[in-house]
Structure 1
Amino acid sequence: MSVRIIDIPKIKDRRGNLAVIEKDIIPFDIKRVYYLYDVPSDAYRGGHAHKSLYQLLIPLSGSFEVRIKNGLEEELITLNKPDKGLLIVPGIWREIENFSSGSVCLVLASAEFDEDDYIRDFNDYLLFKGAKM
């Protein structure tokens, strides 16, 4: 489905771990960073796809699930380790749900915000995918 878990290198220390993201860890230059927090457990975020944006979702704290769809398949991925990030490539629908209390989702993105890059209606998404297949 063109998404994958990326292992984020960590330096273990008795004083606490340090995770490092640089150079060749992710396949894009970071142009935007944002995070989701205080999301109620019954709420969901996402509900869209991007035409050209790459993103890496990292659970800094707690856990959440990412439902991804490509127009043919659907998969539910649980993120709960801060040294594992989910790479989402362009053309993948995503919904983020089931946030645990105190969870924080960090998102690294390949471009600054551009509303024209979003596909916010699932039927429009299916049309977009059909045009690409």
Structure 2
Amino acid sequence: MSTSSRWRLVDLPKISDPRGNLTFVEGGRHVPFDIARVYYLYDVPGGAERGGHAHKALRQLIIAMAGSFDVALDDGTRKERVHLNRSYYGLLVDTMVWRELDNFSSGSVCMVLASTVYEESDYYRDYEEFVAALGRPSE
């Protein structure tokens, strides 16, 4: 399982039932923050990428609700690509991590539980600015 000081996979509760499984997420219990916003990506065209930014304060849990996709993570020191394809795993991403989502399968749905409401000023949308904010030289 993926582990870093800035991101990690989280096992979510899975209640198995012949009628269909159930998974739930509780803020402050399964994620170390209160959930302030939920959003989801769907109908992502083949070959498209999402993300391409970092957050100053926002933390999030990324879940593949259907299908699969990859999350490329970069904290300025370490880079890792995580494949998400199960709805009972979440990828917990801390602040100051550049993330890009790609390799979406047909019919995939990416749900994100966020620690704050949308605030444009919380984003680094330029990689060079992000690296500069970390105080590290860019590649």
TM-score normalised according to structure 2 size: 0.92
Query: Letter of the aligned partner of 2:125 in structure 1?
Result: R
Q: Does residue 1:24 correspond to 2:29, yes or no? A: yes
**1:11 is matched with which residue?**
15
**2:81 is matched with which residue?**
76
Unaligned runs of at least 5 residues, structure 1:
none
**1:98 is matched with which residue?**
103
Offset of residue 41 of structure 1: 2.1
Single out whichever of 69-78 and 86-95 deviates more from structure 2. Answer: 69-78
For residues 38-53 of structure 1, the aligned pairs below 5 Å read 38-53=43-58
Q: Structure 1 or 2: larger helix share?
A: 1
Unaligned runs of at least 5 residues, structure 2:
none
1:123 paired residue among 103, 109, 128: 128
Provide the rounded CA distance (Å) in 2 between the counterparts of 1:87 and 1:6: 7
Runs ≥4 residues deviating over 2 A: none
Aligned length: 131
Provide the rounded CA distance (Å) in 1 between the counterparts of 2:130 and 2:30: 29
Identity of aligned residues (%): 52
Provide the rounded CA distance (Å) in 2 between the counterparts of 1:74 and 1:25: 25
Supply the RMSD in Å over aligned alpha carbons: 0.9
**SS of aligned partner of 1:24:** coil
Q: Deviations over 1:50-87 (max 9, x none)?
A: 00100000000000000000112210000000000000
